[in-house]
Amino acid sequence: MRSVLALLQFCTSLPLGKSVEFEHFARRSYLYPLAGYVIGGIAAGIISWIGSPVVGAAVAIAVVLVLSGCTHFDGLLDFGDGLMAHGSREKRVVAMTDRATGAGAVAAGMVVTLIAFAALQNAAHLPAAILAAEVSAKVAMSYLTTLGPPFREGIHSYLRGFARPWFLVPATLLALPLFLLPLPRVSVALALAVAAGIAAVMMLLARQLFGGVNGDVVGAANEITRAGVLLLLALL
């Protein structure tokens, strides 16, 4: 339970009492999907009372961002700056890791959020869609934490130091309850495939652009995966 509490203190802005040592979660980063159930479940519960798909989609996106403390969204913004920077690998790393917010950050935040919002309001079952997308996003984070080689010291390198290849198995198993949602099973299977695919692309892209993965890349993967899964569910 201390591992789960440490996870939720890291991934959410929920008032969960006295801080638990982060190492409890670091040794079990395959638990990431549990945070998706909490964040996505709260959002799903709220929008189940909203009749308008447009309003429901806007509220759902707002809730998941607020509940996550915008931590992963901040990673997306930093990743956008690094992605759009010109020049050497070193310049891209500086653009991603400095405190300034550039045009790349604004563009990344806008594009990903707009896609998520537009896709969610067109999903057949909004509560199930946001829950599936949030859990899938955390699966992608777990995969990237397990497999992504770090290029500098930080939260990601710390988590990666404890991760083992077999972490991929429990991270995937924790997503299996999604098949109980009122969604076609093929859609859930494809959502998890999207999570794995985005994690793989983000890892390859990060290695090419920055020399490896850091916390910003993992956070960006969360936001991009959520939007990607919602887009998939809207199109199916």
Q: What is the pLDDT of residues 120-159, one digit of tens each?
A: 999 989 999 999 999 999 999 999 999 999 998 999 999 9
pLDDT recorded at residue 86? 86
pLDDT category, 184, cuts 50, 70, 90? very high
Across the chain, mean pLDDT equals 94
Contact indicator for 134, 154 with CB cutoff of 8 Å: no
pLDDT recorded at residue 19? 86
pLDDT recorded at residue 16? 87
pLDDT recorded at residue 217? 96
Q: What is the pLDDT of residues 61-93, one digit of tens each?
A: 999 999 999 999 999 999 999 999 888 888 999
End-to-end CA distance of the chain: 37
From residue 196, how far is each of 110, 148, 232 by CA, in Å? 23, 12, 14
Q: Residue 51: phi, psi to the nearest 5?
A: -80, -30
Q: What is the pLDDT of residues 105-114, one digit of tens each?
A: 999 999 999 9
Residue 220 has pLDDT above 90, yes or no: yes
What is the DSSP-derived secondary structure letter of residue 177?
Answer: G
CA distance 168 to 220: 19
Quote the Cα angle for 160-81-134, to 5°: 55
| 25-42 CB burial, b ≥16 within 10 A, e <16 | bbbbbbbbbbbbbbbbeb
Extents of the domains making up the chain = 36-235
CA distance 171 to 138: 9
Task: Tell me what percent of the residues of the chain surpass a pLDDT of 70.
Answer: 100
Residue 230 has pLDDT above 90, yes or no: yes
CA distance 172 to 193: 11
For range 48-60, the mean pLDDT:
95
pLDDT recorded at residue 106? 95
For range 113-118, the mean pLDDT:
97
CA distance 101 to 98: 8
Residue 101 has pLDDT above 90, yes or no: no
Q: What is the pLDDT of residues 154-180, one digit of tens each?
A: 999 999 999 999 999 999 999 999 999
CA neighbours closer than 13 Å in the CB half-sphere of residue 52: 4
Contact indicator for 13, 66 with CB cutoff of 8 Å: yes
pLDDT recorded at residue 1? 80
pLDDT category, 7, cuts 50, 70, 90? very high
pLDDT recorded at residue 26? 94
pTM over 0.75: yes
In a 10 Å sphere around its CB, with 0-12 CB exposed, 13-18 middle and 19+ buried, how is residue 90 labelled? exposed
